Amino acid sequence: MLIIIMTISIHILFAQKNRNLIRASETLDSIYKFFSIPNSYLLREHYPFTGDFKADYLGAGDNSNKANPYAYLWPYSGSLSAQVAFYESTRYKKTLKAIDSKVLRGLDEYFDKRSPVGYASYVNSAPQSDRFYDDNVWLGIDFTDLYLLTKDKKFLKMALEIWEFVASGKDEKLGGGIYWCEQRKESKNTCSNAPSVVYLAKLYLATNDKKYLIEAENLYKWIQSNLMDTKDSLYYDNINLKGVVDKRKYSYNTGQMIQAGALLHQLTKKQKYLLDAQNSAKGGFDYFFYNTKDSDT
Which domain range does residue 148 map to?
132-290
For residue 98, being part of any structural domain is answered with: no
102 part of a folded domain: no
pLDDT digits (tens, 9 = 90+) for 4-47: 444 444 444 445 568 899 999 999 999 999 999 999 999 999 89
Contact 110, 167 (CB under 8 A): no
- Is there a domain that residue 3 lies in? no
Mean pLDDT across the chain: 91
Q: What is the mean pLDDT of residues 134-144?
A: 98
Rounded distance, CA 72 to CA 183, Å? 17
H helix runs in 64-152, sequence order: 73-90, 93-98, 104-107, 133-150
Inside any domain, residue 70 = no
Residue 267, domain member (yes or no): yes
Domain assignment present for 240 = yes
Q: What is the pTM of this model?
A: 0.90
Query: Does 256 map to a domain?
Result: yes
pLDDT (0 to 100) of residue 243: 98
Domains in the chain, number: 1
Q: Tell me whether residue 104 is in a domain.
A: no
Q: pLDDT, tens digit, for every residue of 81-136?
A: 999 999 999 999 999 999 999 999 999 999 999 999 999 999 999 999 999 999 99
174-228 residue pLDDT tens: 999 999 999 999 999 999 999 999 999 999 999 999 999 999 999 999 999 999 9
pLDDT at 65: 60
143: CATH: 1.50.10.20
237 Cβ contact partners less than 8 Å away, ≥ 6 residues apart: 189, 190, 191, 227, 246, 247, 248, 249, 250, 253
Torsion angles phi and psi, residue 184, rounded to 5: -135, 75
pLDDT of residue 53: 67
CA nearest to 90, candidates 12, 141, 18, 16: 18
pLDDT at 1: 47
